[in-house]
Amino acid sequence: DTGVSQDPRHKITKRGQNVTFRCDPISEHNRLYWYRQTLGQGPEFLTYFQNEAQLEKSRLLSDRFSAERPKGSFSTLEIQRTEQGDSAMYLCASSSDPGLYGYTFGSGTRLTVV
């Protein structure tokens, strides 16, 4: 297992377009997290899955954002009608119960909305 994988590494999109990011967690990890990091700031929590269930969503996750984790494996984060304010690094992390075990981040997807 090579760790948490995120794809793509970089994405440039025009304002108003939809984008989708993928995260492949460590295979035995049942918890998966999405964070957003804007320039000069620490990551901020967006949403969290335990297996296939999305258990929590931050207020940062507007109606234009949706995340899925079908079958409790990989996860996707979709942003519809992108805005310039969505430009950020989107980080995925995974862990095992009891929650902190093996907490590992991916390399992130850097989104630029032009």
Interface residues with other proteins (CB under 8 A) are 9, 31, 33, 35, 40-45, 48, 55-56, 89, 91, 93, 95, 99-100, 103-108, 110
Cβ contact 32:49 at 8 Å = yes
Q: How far is the CB of 16 from other proteins (least distance, A)?
A: 25
Q: Which two tokens stand for residue 102?
A: 């093996």
- Among residues 109, 81, 87, 85, the alpha carbon closest in space to that of 17 is found at 81
- Among residues 75, 80, 91, the alpha carbon closest in space to that of 113 is found at 80
Q: How far is the CB of 84 from other proteins (least distance, A)?
A: 20
Q: How far is the CB of 71 from other proteins (least distance, A)?
A: 21
How far is 41 from 67, CA to CA, in rounded Å? 23
